[in-house]
Amino acid sequence: MGWDGHSNGLERAMGRVGPLIVKGRNTPPSPLPRVIDSTKTHSHSNYSIYKISKTKTESGNQIHIASSNSRFTSSNQHRHRPLSTQIPLHLTAAKVHIGRRVLLRRWIDLPHLRSLNWNEFSSPVCGHWTGITCSEDGSRVIAVRLPGIGFRGPIPPNTLSRLSSLQILSLRSNAITGPFPPDFYSLTNLSFLYLQFNKFSGPLPLNFSAWNNLTIVNLSNNEFNGSIPNSISNLTHLTALNLANNSIWGEIPDLYLPNLKQINLSNNKLTGIVPKSLQKFPGSAFIGNNISFVDSPVVSSSHQPNSKSKNVGKLSEAALLGIIVAACVLGLIGFVFLLLVWWLRKRSEDVFSGKLKKGELSPEKAISRSQDANNRLFFFEGCNYAFDLEDLLRASAEVLGKGTFGIAYKAVLEDANTVVVKRLKEVSVGKREFEQQMEVVGSVKHSNVIELRAYYYSKDEKLLVYDFYSRGSVTAMLHGNRGDDRIPLDWETRLRIAIGAARGIARIHVGKLVHGNIKSSNIFLNSQHYGCVSDLGLSTIMRPLAPPIARASGYRAPEVTDTRKSSQPSDVYSFGVLLLELLTGKSPIHTTASDEVIHLVRWVHSVVREEWTAEVFDTELLRYPNIEEEMVEMLQIALACVVRMPDQRPKMVDVARMIERVRHTDYENRPSSEAKSENSTPT
């Protein structure tokens, strides 16, 4: 805190910041950010005196700071320490950039809806703070990406503008108010500026020449007014400019920008004629203004006053024909225009289906995309991701798989974070019910339940965002690779998958929820190889399950196949099938070499009934010694779960306890790190 006169860890440790007596030099330091109330007057008599000395050690330069109240030691080997043990000075020898941290702490004091991991006790700024990217040597902040955080109010002065090396600034999709910050002129290295979907007001900055490296500028969907500055024409590197949906008035200046590939000035109050330099762009870039592409033609006539009356009839006939032709042409142009508008709107609504499948979407293409301000990514409390829908559109993506409820994509964001985006199909509920169900799902916190990080709802798209689990699903590990380089799942890993999944489902059932789609492709492995359950809560918002087909049908309890309605007992049945899959290595529905379709549950029952129990187990497990008794116990648990009558199946919490007792090792006392849900890209 501290920038508004409040106490913080730094002040408690050091008292007030005063003049320094540095070894070999008694002159005061240059002005730097201070963690004191700048509105109050302080006399030097109230300041503590500090003495700084530097010595070299094998571990690096040691900076010693001594006062009457405390003594600190800083090392260039550990240059980012808790803020409470540092002073706000730029110590070049040790590369300690405390001013930058304090600077960003003041920025985060701006009211915001989502929590960030920015505090004086967190890890170093570079590489750890959400939304912050630094140079390779860690000495300069070069990018701030904080879209959709929920910032409200004006940007505090002398905060972001002090990051003189900043190249990328993305604050889009917030609620930032006030004029364009005048101190941003100091960001002379800025190349990418994304401030769209905020509440900025007042005129556009007059001197765009201050940012001669600008490549992309997006100030759309704000409340800017005034005219378009002529200084934009000096941005020779500019490739994309979006000023759409503001209140900008006046004529469009002639912008001779050789590298400009995208421009959007639509829905403003512009007048006059589109300059020749911009007439190469489509009309949709200027729609919603009172402007035209060319001067109105001067009407001229070849009709002579002394024409003979006998030619009047012929002229009238020709004129009539011309009118008809002109009407047809205008009608065709109007039809094409309406078709274009419809196509653009459809393209905007279905942008995710088209762009995400193709992979990377360039900023030049994304900048002209329209977005419904009421349909944005909603993040849950505790999520440290800093991105919005536009970031997802630009992310490189690949299809992970197609499941019962939709398609899953792996998306790699600009900041190198990797997430899974699930695009739902056949959602049967409205927006309000969808959001209510997502709130319930998002409230479930358990180490063996994959957390829902964010969701998006619009008329045509419903998206869910999860962490990416790099080890993949149980399906992939059991059935994915059958080649010579296959690494089989050992018994220890299968036990951990079972106990993790059982605990996750038991937690879901404690909350009276139903999963409704338990299967091996929805079980993932965390860093400790424990199973984690995904796709919670989707069965209640999707259309009733279709008739069972292929492998998925093997997980469904008999009553679900008949009624298409899931329940907690049906979840237990599906989990029992998962256990059989782990024990046998076979899919719930599979085909033999003779094309005979085998139902796993029926097959296991028949083998056990014939007292050939050993034939049930996966041959890959037979190589491990002293596990036969454990496998038989697990088989008995699985068979108890897949009994036909729902009321005869055990509760999931009891199933979890039974599996824990299979191995005498105390799973309850496993390391606490295993209790954390895995995020393959920590922030």
Q: What is the overall mean pLDDT for the chain?
A: 73
Q: How far apart are CA 660 and CA 666, in angstroms?
A: 8
Angle CA(453)–CA(457)–CA(462) in degrees, nearest 5? 80
pLDDT of 325-360, one tens digit each? Answer: 788 878 888 778 777 766 665 554 444 444 454 443
As a whole number, mean pLDDT of residues 503-515 equals: 91
The residue ranking higher by pLDDT, 438 or 343, is 438
Q: Does 431 show up as a binding residue in the annotation?
A: yes
Q: How far apart are CA 575 and CA 531, in angstroms?
A: 12
Q: How far apart are CA 569 and CA 642, in angstroms?
A: 10
Q: Write down all domains in the chain, each with its CATH number in brackets.
A: 1-109 (no CATH), 363-467 (3.30.200.20), 474-675 (1.10.510.10)
Q: Residue 664's pLDDT is what?
A: 57
Q: What is the pTM of this model?
A: 0.56
159: helix, strand or coil: coil
pLDDT surpassing 90 at residue 504: yes
Q: How far apart are CA 599 and CA 595, in angstroms?
A: 13
| φ, ψ for residue 630, nearest 5 deg | -65, -40
Percent pLDDT > 70 in the chain is: 67
Contact 382, 115 (CB under 8 A): yes
Of 109-113, 253-257, 584-588, 676-680, which range is least confident?
676-680
pLDDT surpassing 70 at residue 517: yes
Q: How far apart are CA 25 and CA 21, in angstroms?
A: 7
Q: Residue 119's pLDDT is what?
A: 60
The residue ranking higher by pLDDT, 577 or 70, is 577
pLDDT band at 283 (very low <50, low <70, confident <90, very high): confident
Of 50-59, 89-98, 439-448, 515-524, which range is least confident?
89-98
Q: Residue 549's pLDDT is what?
A: 47
β-pair partners for 200: 178
Q: Which of 365, 341, 220 is nearest to 283 (CA)?
A: 341
Q: Residue 666's pLDDT is what?
A: 45
Highest mean pLDDT among 60-64, 283-287, 390-394: 283-287
Torsion of CA 307, 310, 313, 318, to 10 degrees: -60
Q: How far apart are CA 108 and CA 386, in angstroms?
A: 14
23: helix, strand or coil: coil
Q: How far apart are CA 236 and CA 470, in angstroms?
A: 43
β-pair partners for 269: 249
pLDDT band at 487 (very low <50, low <70, confident <90, very high): confident
Cα distance from N-terminal residue to C-terminal residue, the chain: 22
As a whole number, mean pLDDT of residues 149-165 equals: 85
Concatenated DSSP letters for 582-600? HHH---SEEE-TT--EEEH
Q: For helices 568-584 and 600-609, what crossing angle results, to 10°?
A: 70
| φ, ψ for residue 436, nearest 5 deg | -60, -45
pLDDT band at 56 (very low <50, low <70, confident <90, very high): very low
As a whole number, mean pLDDT of residues 33-60 equals: 40
pLDDT surpassing 90 at residue 584: yes
Whole-Å CA distances, 144 to 131, 385, 524: 6, 13, 32
Contact 271, 291 (CB under 8 A): yes
Q: How far apart are CA 252 and CA 246, in angstroms?
A: 14
The residue ranking higher by pLDDT, 104 or 528, is 528
Of 329-338, 608-617, 640-649, which range is least confident?
329-338
Q: For helices 568-584 and 491-510, what crossing angle results, to 10°?
A: 180
The residue ranking higher by pLDDT, 630 or 539, is 630
The residue ranking higher by pLDDT, 339 or 14, is 339
pLDDT surpassing 70 at residue 409: yes
Highest mean pLDDT among 77-91, 97-111, 503-517: 503-517
Contact 656, 502 (CB under 8 A): yes
Concatenated DSSP letters for 240-270? EEE--SSEEEEEPP----TT--EEE--SSEE
Q: Which of 392, 387, 369 is nearest to 173 (CA)?
A: 387
pLDDT surpassing 90 at residue 495: yes
Structure tokens at 678: 């895995």
Fill in the DSSP letter of residue 285: G
β-pair partners for 424: 406
pLDDT surpassing 70 at residue 36: no
Q: Residue 37's pLDDT is what?
A: 37
As a whole number, mean pLDDT of residues 197-224 equals: 92
The residue ranking higher by pLDDT, 7 or 266, is 266
pLDDT surpassing 70 at residue 47: no
Q: Which of 587, 517, 577, 520 is nearest to 550 (CA)?
A: 587
Q: Is 349 exposed, middle or buried (0-12, 13-18, 19+ CB in 10 A)?
A: middle
Q: How many helices (H) and strands (E) does the chain have?
A: 14, 30
Contact 72, 51 (CB under 8 A): no
Q: Residue 484's pLDDT is what?
A: 67
| φ, ψ for residue 499, nearest 5 deg | -70, -40
